[in-house]
Amino acid sequence: MAAPQARRWGAGAAGRRRLVLLSPLLLVPLLARPAGALVEGLYCGTRDCYAVLGVSRSASKAEIARAYRQLARRYHPDRYRPEPGDEGPGRTPRSAEEAFLLVATAYETLKDEETRKDYDYMLDHPEEYYSHYYHYYSRRLTPKVDVRVVILVSVCAISVFQFFSWWNSYNKAISYLATVPKYRIQATEIAKQQGLLKKAKEKGRNKKSKEEIRDEEENIIKNIIKSKIDIKGGYQKPQIRDLLLFQIILAPFHLCSYIAWYCRWIYNFNIKGKEYGEEERLYIIRKSMKMSKSQFDSLEDHQKETFLKRELWIKENYEVYKQEQEEELKKKLANDPRWKRYRRWMKNEGPGRLTFVDD
């Protein structure tokens, strides 16, 4: 009884070993791919591109182009006329169109050196199935336009938009300042002293209307404001060096300048222990206030003098100043009628209700 069971056990173990050995072999047909070099969906499909054009693999570019032109004229759908005994791929207008597309595909494949190398490699190594698919679609989906040209054109377009946008903001600021009595009266006095307004009226006595004279006087006042006032911040006069294109071009220079400046700072103030100058003190104050250079430059001179008098480049002094500013802001908000109304509304109504407030 034990012997038959042992035989069955041995047979079962041998069968399991055979199944384990056969498992990878059973997966081979599932993972296998066509071994032929010509694959449907790649290049000319199951047709040889060289055979489609009627040239050899050693044909030159001129021979390939000549064969393409001849076949394109022959199988063009608008010109094709089947000849007696024609055994070409196109015997009807529809088949002629298919033949024309096949000829064009063959020419597109063989005219480019890189694509032709990939195609020849596919003919010589048909077993590298997935590699052929990768090279084919990577070249087909790659943009034909040079990326550097696209980036350059984009940067130039952004720079042009920046310039005109900044110039528009600057003109709006000048137009607004021309309506402010303080600046308008000063500009008018300067124009009278220089005799510009009289010249405008003399010129317009016989040739210009009152509206034209008024517009000319307005332009004179605006030009004087432009020459006398220094606008800083977001409405300042646009500079070419501030455009994105020139910022990118000058980026290496700015980087080297910053590295040199930082090294001098470390050497002079950290190593040698020199005292800060006025420029360095203002720089530390600006960094403590977390303000950009344009924002800090837009401050009045008396504000900067106050910062220097209070020695705000020292951290302890700046912390005291910051606390004073916060307390002052709280007092202003406490005395502000709008802030009081807002607090009453938050207390009584709250943000979760839909109400209609007149103010």
Return the pLDDT at 219.
86
> pLDDT at position 1, please?
44
Q: How far is CA 129 from CA 140, 183, 237, 345, in A?
A: 17, 78, 62, 72
> In terms of pLDDT, which residue wins out, 250 or 7?
250
Residues 215-260 pLDDT 10s: 888 888 888 888 877 666 667 788 888 889 999 999 999 999 999 9
Structure tokens, 12: 């079962």
Confidence band for 160, pLDDT divided at 50, 70 and 90: very high
Token match 């169109």: residue? Answer: 97
d(CA 47, CA 37): 10
How many whole angstroms separate alpha carbon 291 and alpha carbon 103?
66
Region 292-320: what's the mean pLDDT?
87
Q: List CB contacts of 273: < 8 A, sequence separation 6 or more.
A: none
Closest-CA residue to 291 (of 260, 311, 312, 276): 312
- Look over the chain and give the mean of its residue pLDDT values, rounded to a whole number: 77
What confidence score (pLDDT) does residue 24 get? 39
User: What is the tens place of the pLDDT at every residue in 176-211?
Assistant: 888 888 888 888 888 888 777 766 555 545 566 777
- Torsion 115-117-120-126 (CA) sign: negative
Q: Return the percentage of the chain with pLDDT > 90, whole number.
A: 14
Residue 281 pLDDT > 80, yes or no? yes
Q: What angle do CA 302, 235, 290 make, to 5 degrees?
A: 55
pLDDT band at 137, cuts 50/70/90?
Answer: confident
> Is residue 167 within 8 Å of residue 238, measured between CB atoms?
yes
Token digits of residue 337: 């009628």
- Are 100 and 73 in contact by the 8 Å Cβ rule? The answer is no
In sequence order, which ranges of the chain are alpha helices (DSSP H)?
2-31, 49-53, 61-75, 93-111, 113-124, 129-141, 147-179, 181-194, 196-203, 210-228, 244-249, 251-265, 278-289, 293-297, 301-309, 315-335, 337-348
Res. 263 pLDDT band, cuts 50 70 90: very high
DSSP-assigned states of every residue in 191-249: HHHHTHHHHHHHHTTTS--HHHHHHHHHHHHHHHHHHH----GGGSPP-GGGSHHHHHH
Instruction: Please answer whether residues 262 and 324 qualify as being in contact, where contact means their C-beta atoms are separated by less than 8 angstroms.
Output: no
More confident residue, 114 or 357: 114
Contact 183, 225 (CB under 8 A): yes
Element (H, E) at 36: none
**90 against 345, higher pLDDT:** 345
Helix axes 315-335, 337-348, angle to 10 degrees: 70
Residues 318/285, Cβ–Cβ less than 8 Å: yes
For 239: left if phi > 0, alpha if psi spans -120 to 50, otherwise beta; the answer is beta
Whether pTM exceeds 0.85: no
Structure tokens at 195: 């005799």
